[in-house]
Amino acid sequence: MVTFPETIPQAGIEMASIKDVAKLSGVSVSTVSRVINRGADVDNRTRDRVLAAIAKLEYKPNLLAKGLRGKKGNIIGLIVPEILDHAFVSIVDSTIDTAHENGYNVIVGSTHNDPDLEEKFIDDLLRRNVNGIVFSRVSDESRVLKKIQKMNVPIVIIDRALEKEGIPSVVLDNYEAGRLSAQHLVELGHREVRCVTGSLKISLCRDRLRGFKDVLRENGLECPDADTVEGDFKFKSGMDAVDRFCEDGKRFSAVWAQNDMMALGIIKRCLTKGMRIPEEVSVVGMDDISICEYIAPSLTTIHYPFKEMCEKAFELIVRQNGEGGPEDAIALLEPYLVKRDSTGPFGVKT
Amino acid sequence: MVTFPETIPQAGIEMASIKDVAKLSGVSVSTVSRVINRGADVDNRTRDRVLAAIAKLEYKPNLLAKGLRGKKGNIIGLIVPEILDHAFVSIVDSTIDTAHENGYNVIVGSTHNDPDLEEKFIDDLLRRNVNGIVFSRVSDESRVLKKIQKMNVPIVIIDRALEKEGIPSVVLDNYEAGRLSAQHLVELGHREVRCVTGSLKISLCRDRLRGFKDVLRENGLECPDADTVEGDFKFKSGMDAVDRFCEDGKRFSAVWAQNDMMALGIIKRCLTKGMRIPEEVSVVGMDDISICEYIAPSLTTIHYPFKEMCEKAFELIVRQNGEGGPEDAIALLEPYLVKRDSTGPFGVKT
DNA sequence: CTGAAAGCGCTAACAG
DNA sequence: CTGTTAGCGCTTTCAG
């Protein structure tokens, strides 16, 4: 339902341009440009006049003109597969905040894992002379990345390192994440431990699993492949995993899911089946998305430092914008455990 | 930890410009521009040559130049108070998708409810010749809105109508939302019904409450002010509300929270206190954020049509971009109930 | 210290 | 149908 009560004629005032400022202060545009940009090399008296005119006209340099001329749009492009994904929204948020603090705007695009959308979006960014592109979760297919690099546009991959490509990346120490979760569970006395992974085609999932198993082994526990279910990072695959674990008849007292969404699925399914958490089953997640605190029981998880990640990514972009062309760099960030209510000592049934 | 394995010298290939295309196809830039934009008025043979050159060079018009020249940056600005807020992320997502489908990019900014950030961000958008601004949750203070309108930049307010200002808006039928939730509860046989509102300074919260109470009255039920707790849309205020309700000694069997976050707080607190949901207490939320499905029990709620809202907002922007200047319009969208597991019939204790 | 001039890449009259 | 010209708003030599 759309209604149009009335039409209001608009003033349509134009924004002041550098010309207007020049005219009002009685100098040339280049002088105005000087006081805006370097401030130096300008007589104090004329500068004051210009500044006064700028204030009076509320002049703000047009960013398109500036970007066109300077070849840099003062924009950061951010590409994520899915904004609604609880992990990515943290990236969006942090990137925007970091960029704003540094005087950049950010254009956000979500590819929905569609390579065509992805490429279209990248083209748009390139056509806007972006200062850099922050790329979250690329398909391993790296054609588009090559394109970006060829255009000499700084790029940073977040969350997934493409070392062989020599592309600057910010990644989590995924092996350590796996270790942390196993350690927590082992310390609580659990011996029948399960793991729900993301797709094992993704190297970070394999890394996490490796860390997890290593700790179990170091503690004399086994973790046969049968104790592992491969999920897809989605809620439902967590639910399904519980069914799988129950099927095989063997008991289990603890599960680690390689992301929080699956952990939520696990919790929901367990509760539905009448299993108590953490009294009968301890559950650990991974990512530390905001929901963790909102459910009952709240979810013990491995914190993924999204904010630091985005700050680092931004730093790498800026660094590439400086002289010397792009640097090849990989920043490795460390996860840590956040203990909440979904985990408890083995065998304590209150 | 940052390491720099090696430095790779870059090619730094420039993007092809319209000049390059003109040169390669042996025509003038204006002809190239013609084939790109209107296609008409160009001889078929020359058009083909131009097209070939465009393909060969992978030419894509620079968006900054285009925007500078045409006074329109082909960009939509989106302003939300907090991206991490589960309701707003839906707005971000839908706006971006809608904009992309129509060939626009979107610059997202979150104000964190800081008026200075808000103004700074708006200035940035204006300086980029945005085609329009989608504004979610403005402070009632409308100075900035005036500014935008003065610049003749289309604007649409999402989620909160400022009718007196004559600014195009897309709003929910909040009164109806209140009615729906009460109706659902009444139909389930509940008579001791409570409500946790958002800040009653916000008109939409008052509207929702009015609808809620009207239905109760129509059904011969009372809803004294004491049965209502004013929250702040945050998780914790939902938890606190339960404590308040328990304090006064009167029984209650159902609660409506004016947003899902507070409903989650209610559920968590109830479960912690050992109250069963929905057997002892039915809980209805509002917004239908994604978490609703992920908790146990899943949350019955009033669906807020974010996607339709954003589509409508976009439509209003585009319409204003057309001739005739801005139109004053208010679009009203309808909510609906989504029944899940947090509500059940009164008195049925399984 | 300051102004004039050129040009970033594109579009839009205006001639031809 | 096509090329020339001018200019969007800004920065940056280059003179002076």
Taking only the tens place, the pLDDT of each residue in A158-184 is 988 666 677 889 999 999 999 999 999
Residue of chain B nearest A172, judged by CA positions: B1
Q: Note the pLDDT of residue A266.
A: 98
Most confident listed range (A267-281, B126-140, B245-259, B324-338): A267-281
pLDDT band at A328 (very low <50, low <70, confident <90, very high): low
Q: Note the pLDDT of residue A125.
A: 97
Q: Which of A229, A253, A243, A340 is nearest to A289 (CA)?
A: A340
Q: Using the C1' atom of nucleotide C2, identify the protein residue whose alpha carbon is closest.
A: A31
pLDDT band at A323 (very low <50, low <70, confident <90, very high): low
- Render B215-266 in DSSP notation, one character per residue: HHHHTT----GGGEEE--SSHHHHHHHHHHHHHT-----EEEESSHHHHHHH
Protein-proximal nucleotides of chain D (any atom < 7 Å from a CB): 1-5, 7-13
Mean pLDDT of all residues in B256-282:
97
Residue B248 has which token pair? 């006064």
Paired with A229 in beta bridges are: A196
| B chain contacts of residue A331, beta-carbon cutoff 8 Å | 1-2
pLDDT band at B324 (very low <50, low <70, confident <90, very high): very low
Total beta-carbon pairs less than 8 A apart between chain A and chain B: 204
CA pair distance A4, A6, nearest whole angstrom:
6
Count the Cβ atoms, other than its own, within 10 Å of residue A71: 10
Q: Note the pLDDT of residue B349.
A: 62
Asked if the bond preceding A345 is cis, omega within 30° of 0, the reply is no
A63 to B90: CB separation less than 8 angstroms, yes or no: no
Mean pLDDT of all residues in A262-273:
97
From B10, B93, B105, residue closest to A83, measured CB to CB: B93
Mean pLDDT of all residues in B157-179:
87
Q: Note the pLDDT of residue B163.
A: 65
B128 to A105: CB separation less than 8 angstroms, yes or no: yes
Mean pLDDT of all residues in A244-264:
93
For the ranges A75-84, B107-116, B326-335, which has the lowest average pLDDT?
B326-335
Q: Which of A196, A319, A332 is nearest to A259 (CA)?
A: A196
End-to-end CA distance of chain B: 56
Q: What confidence tens digit (pLDDT) does each residue in A108-159 have?
A: 999 998 989 999 999 999 999 999 999 987 666 667 888 888 888 999 999 8
From A96, A267, A294, residue closest to B264, measured CB to CB: A294
Q: Note the pLDDT of residue A350.
A: 55
Task: Please give the single-letter amino acid code of residue B265.
Answer: G
Mean pLDDT of all residues in B306-317:
94
From B5, B60, B235, residue closest to A127, measured CB to CB: B60
Q: Which of A275, A278, A235, A239 is nearest to A259 (CA)?
A: A235
Q: Note the pLDDT of residue A111.
A: 93
Helix (H, G, I), strand (E, B) or coil at B61: coil
Report CA-CA distances (Å) from B219 to A284, A326, B183, B190, B284: 47, 70, 9, 11, 18
B107 to A106: CB separation less than 8 angstroms, yes or no: yes
Residue A45 has which token pair? 């008296």
Helix (H, G, I), strand (E, B) or coil at B79: strand
Helix residue spans in chain A (DSSP H)? 18-25, 29-37, 44-57, 63-70, 86-101, 115-126, 143-150, 174-187, 203-218, 235-247, 260-272, 291-294, 306-321
pLDDT band at B268 (very low <50, low <70, confident <90, very high): very high
From B60, B83, B327, residue closest to A93, measured CB to CB: B83
Task: Please give the single-letter amino acid code of residue A341.
Answer: D
B24 CA to D2 C1' in angstroms comes to 16
As a residue count, chain A comes to 350
Residue of chain A nearest B239, judged by CA positions: A294
Q: Which of B144, B237, B294 to mutate to test the interface with A (most CBs of A within 10 A)?
A: B294
C-beta separation of A10 from B326 below 8 A: yes
Q: Note the pLDDT of residue B207.
A: 95
Strand pairing of A336-338 and A300-303? antiparallel
Protein-proximal nucleotides of chain C (any atom < 7 Å from a CB): 1-5, 7-13
Residues at the strand D interface (Cβ < 7 Å): A 14-15, 17-19, 29-30, 33-34, 36-37, 59-62, 65-66, 68-70; B 26-31, 34, 41-43, 45-47, 65, 68-69, 71
Q: With a cut of 70, say whether residue B7 has pLDDT above it.
A: no
CA pair distance A20, A43, nearest whole angstrom:
20
Count the Cβ atoms, other than its own, within 10 Å of residue A192: 18
Helix (H, G, I), strand (E, B) or coil at A338: strand
pLDDT band at B140 (very low <50, low <70, confident <90, very high): low
Angle of helix A29-37 versus helix A18-25 axis, rounded to 10: 110
Q: Note the pLDDT of residue A6.
A: 28
Q: Note the pLDDT of residue A269.
A: 97
Q: Note the pLDDT of residue A226.
A: 80
Q: Note the pLDDT of residue A71.
A: 83
Q: What confidence tens digit (pLDDT) does each residue in A183-236 have?
A: 999 999 999 999 999 999 988 999 999 999 999 999 999 888 888 999 999 999
Residue A350 has which token pair? 């209150």
Tokens 């209502």 belong to which residue?
A: B228
Q: With a cut of 90, say whether residue A104 has pLDDT above it.
A: yes
Mean pLDDT of all residues in A251-266:
96
Q: Note the pLDDT of residue A139.
A: 64
Sequence-ordered strand ranges (E) for chain B? 2-3, 75-80, 105-110, 132-136, 155-158, 169-172, 193-197, 228-230, 254-257, 282-284, 301-303, 330-333, 336-338
**How many Cα atoms are found within 13 Å in the side-chain-facing hemisphere of A140?**
6
Mean pLDDT of all residues in A76-83:
96
* Dihedral sign of CA atoms A233, A238, A244, A249 in order: positive
Q: With a cut of 80, say whether residue A260 has pLDDT above it.
A: yes
Q: With a cut of 70, say whether residue B253 has pLDDT above it.
A: yes
Q: With a cut of 70, say whether residue B37 has pLDDT above it.
A: yes
pLDDT band at B10 (very low <50, low <70, confident <90, very high): very low
CA pair distance A78, A104, nearest whole angstrom:
12
Q: What confidence tens digit (pLDDT) does each residue in A277-308 have?
A: 999 999 999 999 999 999 999 999 999 999 99
Higher-confidence position of B285 and B72: B285
pLDDT band at B326 (very low <50, low <70, confident <90, very high): low
pLDDT band at A329 (very low <50, low <70, confident <90, very high): confident
Helix (H, G, I), strand (E, B) or coil at A159: coil
| A chain contacts of residue B325, beta-carbon cutoff 8 Å | 7-10, 12
pLDDT band at B9 (very low <50, low <70, confident <90, very high): very low
User: How far is C-alpha B196 from the geometric centre of its chain's CA atoms?
Assistant: 22
Residue B304 has which token pair? 């807020």
CA pair distance B308, B304, nearest whole angstrom:
9
Q: Using the C1' atom of nucleotide C7, identify the protein residue whose alpha carbon is closest.
A: A69
CA pair distance B166, B327, nearest whole angstrom:
9
Q: Note the pLDDT of residue B159.
A: 84
CA pair distance B181, B187, nearest whole angstrom:
10
Q: Note the pLDDT of residue B55.
A: 95
Nearest nt by C1' to A66 Cα: D10
Residues at the strand C interface (Cβ < 7 Å): A 26-31, 34, 41-43, 45-47, 65, 68-69, 71; B 14-15, 17-19, 29-30, 33, 36-37, 59-62, 65-66, 68-70
Tokens 């000694």 belong to which residue?
A: B249
A108 to B108: CB separation less than 8 angstroms, yes or no: yes
Helix residue spans in A137-283 (DSSP H)? 143-150, 174-187, 203-218, 235-247, 260-272
C-beta separation of B196 from B262 below 8 A: yes
Averaged pLDDT score across all residues of chain A: 89
| Closest CA–CA distance from residue A252 to any residue of chain B (Å) | 21
Q: b vs e for A35-47, b when ≥16 Cβ sit within 10 Å of the residue's Cβ?
A: bbeeeeebeeebb
As a residue count, chain B comes to 350
Mean pLDDT of all residues in B61-79:
94
Task: Please give the single-letter amino acid code of residue B221.
Answer: L
Higher-confidence position of B153 and A143: B153
| B chain contacts of residue A150, beta-carbon cutoff 8 Å | 11, 13
Tokens 């949750």 belong to which residue?
A: B137
Q: With a cut of 60, say whether residue A326 has pLDDT above it.
A: no
Q: Using the C1' atom of nucleotide D8, identify the protein residue whose alpha carbon is closest.
A: B69
Averaged pLDDT score across all residues of chain B: 89
Q: Note the pLDDT of residue A97.
A: 96
pLDDT band at B5 (very low <50, low <70, confident <90, very high): very low
From B4, B13, B328, residue closest to A5, measured CB to CB: B328
B124 to A63: CB separation less than 8 angstroms, yes or no: yes
| A chain contacts of residue B313, beta-carbon cutoff 8 Å | none
Q: Please list the helix, strand and coil fractions of chain A in percent, rounded to the nearest 5, in that order.
A: 45, 15, 40
Nearest nt by C1' to A31 Cα: C2
